Amino acid sequence: MSDQETIRVYDNKIDDYLGMVDDHGPDAVLSSFMSKVTPGGFVLDLGCGPAHSSSVMRANGFLVDPVDASEGMVKIANEKFDINARVAVFEDINSTAEYDGIWANFSLLHAAADDLPDIIKALHKAMKAGGVFHLGMKIGSGASRDKFGRLYTYYSQQQLCDYLLAAGFTIDEIETTEGTGLAGELESWISICSIA
């Protein structure tokens, strides 16, 4: 995420975000993801926020690499969990065959539409063969800013699957639901689990 307005919102809304996220354990989607990743594997938490998911994964025996574009979120993550979170944007991920899993839960929706296919290709390259990729997004079309000014880009299920397949992933599981985020608006969500 290199949209400076979106990063600023996350830096300024840390307390609100902390009040919204659940930190008492894994939800069903995170539990499913962990069950598919090699036990003890190395997992990139892309857009980790305050690193609740990373802390759960670490508690379940995984090595984690939590990254976020928001310096404020990274600071809170490290203060709360001592988890070595670091500041990075999507385009900074350029390794080869490093990760057993990538958890991108509602983070890549902040990437510009023109950038997403290349980001997904770079993530595929960063994964070991057979690695597990979780992609959580909001379903829709176009791009807009929410009431706080965060940039969101929306996609159809087919578009996301096409990007994943073009990058070399195999689709493993798709789940759709509805939920509310920080802005409090009910939206359609999608979780796609794919294999590198």
pLDDT at 184 over 80: no
Provide the domain limits for residue 126: 4-195
Residue partners of 10: CB distance under 8 A and separation at least 6: 17, 49, 68, 69, 70, 72, 73, 150
More confident residue, 97 or 180: 97
pLDDT at 157 over 80: yes
pLDDT at 145 over 90: no
**CATH, residue 121:** 3.40.50.150
pLDDT at 6 over 90: no
Which residue, 178, 174, 138, is CA-closest to 156? 138
What is each CA distance from 94 to 107, 120, 122, 163, in whole angstroms?
Answer: 17, 11, 6, 18
Instruction: Tell me the C-alpha distance between 123 and 102, whole Å.
Output: 8
The total domain count for the chain is: 1
pLDDT at 23 over 60: no
pLDDT at 80 over 70: yes
* Per-residue pLDDT at 149: 74
**Overall average pLDDT of the 190-196 stretch:** 98
Instruction: Tell me the C-alpha distance between 183 and 180, whole Å.
Output: 7
Inter-axis angle of helices 71-81 and 4-12, to 10 degrees? 40
**Overall average pLDDT of the 83-103 stretch:** 97
Asked which of 49-58, 101-110, 174-183 is least confident by mean pLDDT, the reply is 174-183
Q: Which amino acid is at 78?
A: N
**Overall average pLDDT of the 90-100 stretch:** 96
The structure tokens listed for 10 are: 């996350």
Is the whole model's pTM more than 0.85, yes or no?
A: yes
